Structure 1
Amino acid sequence: MEIRCAVIGAGSWGTTVAHLLAHNTPTVLWARDPVVAAEVRQSSTNERYLPGASLHPALTATDSMADAVASADLIIMGVPSHGFRDTLEATATHIRPWVPVISLAKGLEQGTRLRMTEVINEVVPGHPYGVLTGPNLAKEILAGGAAASVLAMSDDTIAQRLQALFCTNLFRVYTNPDVAGCEVAGALKNVLAIASGMADGLGTGDNTRAAVITRGLAEMARLGTAMGGHIVTFGGLAGLGDLLATCISPQSRNRHVGEQLGLGRTIEEVIDEMHMVAEGVKSAPVVMALAEEHGIEMPIAAEVHAVLYRGRTAEEAYRGLLNRGHVEEMHGMRRPRA
């Protein structure tokens, strides 16, 4: 039996996931802009978000939410966190009962501090939910580079059934029952990538970048486990894997934001010239609120937040990190047995 898929959101990653699905099953991509939908249908391209890339010829597209969702057996939400709830609500009148809903967003909802699967559970209760996440740079995947990802779902049986839909010869998908851990990792790595980018902009070198990534991973694990995630998740594809890719790749939007801040530009200047969302900018205040709620110390994330929202410079942020008191490397983590 074929599973008909609808991908909601025609940005770079939503389009890429739709392209992958089209290899294995009938797939429709919903685009808010009818011009983008027509281009995908007629030319198998999306030049606005993926210039020069060719999409699978079987992939179709529409700007009608009803046409995309009404007959779908699987819904994939490829919209950023700040528009996730409103867009999902637009599907609610068309989605059939019990159809699984999978998030691609790597962010947290402002105000509620909810993960995207928690938003799914609020807007369309009773539907199986999950997240597809990992070190996945859209342009590399479309160019034919090998990559791996994680599908974490509330129902492991459904996850195993859907796993093969996303796989191609060069794109491997693993299942993981830790939905909370995978989502927290995806949101936090974007904030930490801004810190890594600031180090690049300041010209601090690879030693500093390695320290930021490693200590950032510790912050991610501290908050993630406090929020219900499993420690092993943060050393896997959704945690360390995605953190590495986002912190070091020139294609990373969040690393780019940080680099520009390190070069002395303001966050307003950087955001104004970007055509796509850098989730870390919007997630930083939510991350700090969650850290306070759970009593978790997150010095790197705190400095990023201060640069984004309190007028601190990247240079001041790094000076502040270096001037911190002396602590154990496992500070804030459960100590191992002797």
Structure 2
Amino acid sequence: MRRAAVLVAGSWGTALASVLASNGYLVALWTRNEGQAKEINEKHTNSRFLPECELPVNIVATTDMEQALKDAELVLFVAPSSAMRQVAQAAAPHLSPETLCVHATKGFETNTFKRMSIVLAEELGRSASEIVVLTGPSHAEEVIRKQPTTVVVASESIEAAEKAQDALINSDFRVYTNRDVIGAEVAGAIKNIIALGAGLSDGLGFGDNAKAALLTRGLAEIGRLGTAMGASPMTFAGLAGVGDLVATCTSKHSRNWRAGYLLGDGTPLEQVLDKIGMVVEGVRTTQNAYQLSRQFHVEMPITNQLYEVLFEGKPPKAAVEQLMGRLKTHEMEPLE
């Protein structure tokens, strides 16, 4: 039986492990938590992250990194952006040069603002062109239940992307390939900021008109930053861009939307994060994108206002009023 490893055992990692298991892989699901590993192996559940979902028996959890990566032909890194470098460091000594490395994390590294493929390349001693990015509209809660899902795998190496495509694709989980790694990673990260804004808008009691405007202008911000960083504008019209943006900004499954909703309802950020109980990537990404917009000299008004709400105590309603009161401009400004 072919072997694969998934690092770590959160909701998305567990859902992707289930996809690989359905495709005939023996999947090692790595976690630091002994209790979680025991539950997965004995009960075939991961109740904290995906309650009421039964896992395939060919998913085996372990806290031993060396054991997890032994004979793995593919490894999926699904650690939070804040932990990606640490997880990669732990994995590096046990990885075979032939192992295909894929990541499915949507965010930047704090302080360095590096994309996850760059972090992995640095720690694994590989060229960034060898790393594959998995992204697109894909809630773990739907993937684990085999509801139809379509994603994209991006790599500078079409051979690597096609290997990842072959490993993951099935009748429930359709996988496209793309060469635009920068666009895939930037879109996946920034859409979480816009989802925070969409939730905040709903929490304030605004309607569909406001959300439609937020998504549309948010897509413009994603494209503006992405092309400044070297992405193809076409990527933002695809699954990694508008597809993921719509799914994350309109779904009850979205942690970022839920966090924004609670903020709009007047709940302080610290309490919001406690209530969610899992990583809300959009919060950290707002900090990083705020700095990236200055580094690349691009205008990101939604990101700027959310930064002020999250980190400078600005009332959410005041942020919306400031966005609506901006100076008049053309809708179709060039992305470059």
Considering the TM-score relative to the shorter chain, is it more than 0.5? yes
Q: After superposition, give the CA deviation of every residue in 1:289-331 in whole Å (9 maximum; x if it has no partner).
A: 1111111000011111111101011101100101100000023
Q: Distance in 1 between matches of 2:96 and 2:144?
A: 31
> Residue 79 of structure 2 corresponds to which residue in structure 1?
79
Backbone CA RMSD of aligned residues: 1.2
161-170 vs 146-155, greater mean Cα deviation: 161-170
1:99 aligns with 2:104: no
Identify the residue that residue 9 of structure 1 maps to in structure 2: 8
Partners of 1:41 and 1:61 within 8 A in 2: yes
Tell me the residue number matched to 2:300. Answer: 298
SS at match of 1:174: strand
Distance 1:285 1:247, change over 3 A: same
Q: 1:209 aligns with which of 211, 220, 230?
A: 211
- 1:155-234 matches, within 5 Å, as 155-234=157-236
Q: How far apart in 2 are the matches of 1:61 and 1:266? A: 36
Counterpart amino acid of residue 167 in structure 1: I
Q: Deviations over 1:160-194 (max 9, x none)?
A: 12212112211101011111100000000001100
Q: CA deviation at 1:124?
A: 1.0
C-alpha distance in 2, partners of 1:174/1:138? 18
Out of 31-40 and 248-257, give the one that drifted further: 31-40
Give the TM-score normalised by the residue count of structure 2. 0.97
What pairs up with 1:1-338 in 2 under 5 angstroms? 3-24=2-23, 25-126=25-126, 128-333=130-335
Number of residue pairs matched? 333
Residues 255/87 of structure 1: CA separation in 2 closer, same or farther (3 Å cut) = same
Q: After alignment, is 166-175 or 123-132 more displaced?
A: 123-132
One-letter amino acid of the counterpart of residue 172, structure 2: L
Contact 1:3 1:74 in 2 (8 A): no
Distance 1:109 1:95 in 2: 22
Query: 5+ residue gaps in structure 2?
Result: none
Deviations 1:82-117 (A, max 9, x none): 011011100111111242211111000001100000
Q: Answer with 158-167 or 145-154: which moved more.
A: 158-167
SS at 2:49 equivalent: coil
| Worse-matched range after superposition: 113-122 or 89-98 | 89-98
Task: Name the amino acid aligned to 1:243.
Answer: L
TM-score, normalization by structure 1: 0.96
The one-letter amino acid of 2:192's match is: N
Counterpart-to-counterpart distance in 2, 1:98 and 1:332: 42
Q: How far has the Cα of 1:71 moved from its partner?
A: 2.0
Determine the C-alpha separation between the residues in 1 that align with 2:2 and 2:223.
36
Listed as ranges, the gaps of 5+ residues in structure 1 are none
Distance in 1 of aligned mates of 2:60 and 2:99? 20
Task: Quote the Cα distance in structure 2 between the aligned partners of 1:221 and 1:16.
Answer: 29
Q: Contact 1:117 / 1:130 at 8 angstroms: preserved in 2?
A: yes
SS of residue matched to 1:27: strand
| AA aligned opposite 1:293 | Q
Separation (CA, whole Å) in 1 of partners of 2:186 and 2:19: 25
Q: Secondary structure at the match of 2:276?
A: coil
Aligned residues of 2:102 and 2:164 also touching (Cα < 8 A): no
Measured in 1, the distance between the counterparts of 2:271 and 2:40 equals 31
Alpha-carbon contact 1:134-1:149 (below 8 Å) kept: yes
Q: Determine the C-alpha separation between the residues in 1 that align with 2:199 and 2:276.
A: 16
Partner Cα separation in structure 1 for residue 111 and residue 253 of structure 2: 29
